[in-house]
Amino acid sequence: MKHMPFNEVEVTVDAVMNCWMALERDWQSVLVGAIIVVLVGGLELPIPW
């Protein structure tokens, strides 16, 4: 079985962590957008544009 050098393992872990943090940001954005849509629709707030 071939072992990866420690440096490559570290790079892989960093890549996975960066990907996970990006997904968390995406889901937070989706959640905030959904809350805004529900509040605007539920309270019939006018959108000033």
DSSP string across 21-45: HHHHHHHHHHHHHHHHHHHHHHHT-
Residue 13 in 3-state DSSP?
helix
CA distance 19 to 24: 9
Inform me whether the pLDDT recorded for 1 exceeds 70. Answer: no
pLDDT band at residue 49 under the 50/70/90 scheme: low
Q: Where are the domains of the chain?
A: 1-40
More confident: 28 or 48 = 28
Confidence of residue 6 (pLDDT cuts 50, 70, 90): low
The structure's pTM equals 0.50
17-45: per-residue pLDDT in tens? Answer: 888 888 888 888 888 889 888 888 888 87
